[in-house]
Amino acid sequence: MSDLERRQRRHVLYTWTAQRGARPIEIKGGEGAWFFDHAGERWLDFESQVYNVNAGHGERRITEAIVAQARENAVAHPAAVFEAKAALGEALAAITPGDLDHFFFCLSGAEANENALKIARLVTGRSKVIARRRSYHGASMGALSLTGDNRRWAVEPGLWGVVRAEDPYCYRCPFGRFDGEGCALECATHLEHVIQMEGPQRIAAVFMEGVTGANGGFIPPAGYWPKVREICDRYGILLVSDEVFSGFGRTGEWFAVNHWGVVPDMITMAKGLTGGYASLGAVAVSDRIAAHFEDEKLWCGLTSYAHPIACAAAKAAIEVYQADHLIERAKALEPVLQEEMDRIYREHEIIGDARSIGLFGTMELVVDRETRQEVIPANMPTIYKPFEAALTAAFLKRRLHMPFRGNDLFICPPLCISEADLRYGIRLIDEALTETMPLFRQIRSGELTVESTP
């Protein structure tokens, strides 16, 4: 442990972990798809830090915008009028779909979802909301209540009124359809069934990630989003697309819903909104929702609402995406990413599925491809924890910052990554798997006896 880490541990808590077991990375700076630690080692960032550094490390155009704004005006009342706020509203209105050209600004994706939840209840007068089973919407109490994964368990019961629906997870279809081809969209039909059973007149909104992020990276079948839009319209329910993870080019479009030509009633966003250079989230709302608050009070607000420095960072990030054609770049590199993942699929039997959209790839681990048994099953004990630890160590040894959550390996580099660096990073994944597969096979065969652990 370095002296710097020792000093930090003395006073600063780590997130989502028992403190004694925290194994943090060091970061001093970076450039493009790479960051540097305090020892001068270069790390290839396949997680974009936390899926937010879409424009890349060391992006001077964003940092210079922050410095310029700080020199001109670094503080402002939430209701203040100033150039950076107006300019950001205009920049966002130019890229959001349909009539989603009114924005509520906050500090994070969690706060964006919190405020979208409040706005939905205020506009409809209804109390219930529907969210999917494999989902993540943020760490604050309301957003965590929307969340489907086990990160909410420790603070349950959370908010009342959240109802669960099943996911459009083709590889592990909850309705027994293991292939998106020819899919009858039972997942959308199921959503309508849930609405009917819970009472349409009581449901304010349906919350969905544009493309599911850290809970599996699965991509809905072609007709799913349009059918969900149709169902919500039929019952007067607001449709909210959580684009915190999937927005700002991650999937090869500004927002993931654009792939299916759907305009939701609200879009929540953060992460790539500033490229990670400042804390900012936003809720985009339709003309109809904005009109509701012309005469009705908007019961939402924050001290740092539309902070000047964050607004300047976001406007600069959007300009970088546009000037460098990073959205188009993510789309252009998608076949390269899929080609490389397909190669790893052919070479390593532990990969059960390899799927991608834009610069977001997911490789799902299985004990056996026929049974699709998970190596690290959700919320269940497993004997493969030593393999998980070994694979993580193999990534670290290669200076690859690689997101490995649950049963999934994710590939989410900054959108500015070169094709050569993308192929190089996947080659490092290949090496790490090759190194650790003997241990996996020993455990699978029973040659190495390991006690099941959660």
* Cβ atoms 357, 252 nearer than 8 A: yes
Rounded CA separation 52/270 (Å) = 8
281-285/102-106 β-pairing: antiparallel
* Cβ atoms 129, 310 nearer than 8 A: no
452 occurs within a structural domain: no
What's the mean pLDDT in 389-400? 97
Of 265, 288, 323, the position where a domain reaches its end is: 323
What's the mean pLDDT in 390-407? 95
284 occurs within a structural domain: yes
The pLDDT of residue 182 = 65
* Cβ atoms 311, 62 nearer than 8 A: no
Please state, in angstroms and as integers, the Cα–Cα distance from residue 197 to each residue in 53, 168, 193, 227, 398, following that order.
41, 20, 6, 18, 51
Band the pLDDT of 16: cuts 50, 70, 90. confident
Question: What are the backbone angles phi and psi of residue 353, rounded to the nearest 5°?
Answer: -150, 140
What's the mean pLDDT in 384-406? 95
Of 323, 342, 373, the position where a domain reaches its end is: 323
pLDDT by residue (tens digit) across 22-65?
888 889 999 999 999 999 999 999 999 999 999 999 999 999 99
Of 272, 297, 323, the position where a domain reaches its end is: 323
pLDDT by residue (tens digit) across 180-198?
566 879 999 999 999 999 9
* CA triple 164-165-170, angle to 5 deg: 140
The pLDDT of residue 290 = 98
For 225, the enclosing helix (H) or strand (E) is helix 224-235
Longest alpha-carbon distance in the chain:
71
User: Which residue range forms the structural domain that includes residue 359?
Assistant: 3-55+325-445
Amino acid at 228: V
What's the mean pLDDT in 403-409? 93
Same-domain status, 118 and 245: yes
Same-domain status, 369 and 402: yes
What's the mean pLDDT in 348-354? 98
Same-domain status, 143 and 251: yes
450 occurs within a structural domain: no
Band the pLDDT of 178: cuts 50, 70, 90. low
pLDDT by residue (tens digit) across 408-427?
999 999 999 999 999 999 99
> Which residue pairs, CB below 8 angstroms and at least 24 apart, start in 30-34?
30/56, 30/57, 30/58, 31/56, 31/57, 31/58, 32/56, 32/57, 32/58, 32/414, 32/416, 32/417, 32/418, 32/421, 33/57, 33/413, 33/414, 33/416, 33/417, 33/418, 33/421, 34/421
Q: How many helices (H) and strands (E) does the chain have?
A: 13, 16
Same-domain status, 49 and 65: no
CATH number for the domain that contains residue 297: 3.40.640.10
313 occurs within a structural domain: yes
Q: Is 438 helix (H, G, I), strand (E, B) or coil?
A: helix
Predicted model pTM: 0.95
Same-domain status, 194 and 263: yes
Please state, rounded to an integer, the average pLDDT across all residues of the chain: 95
What's the mean pLDDT in 241-258? 98
The pLDDT of residue 181 = 61
402 occurs within a structural domain: yes
Same-domain status, 151 and 51: no
The pLDDT of residue 2 = 87
The pLDDT of residue 454 = 80
The pLDDT of residue 179 = 61
Amino acid at 430: D
For residue 19, pLDDT over 70 is answered with yes
User: Total structural domains in the chain?
Assistant: 2
Same-domain status, 226 and 280: yes
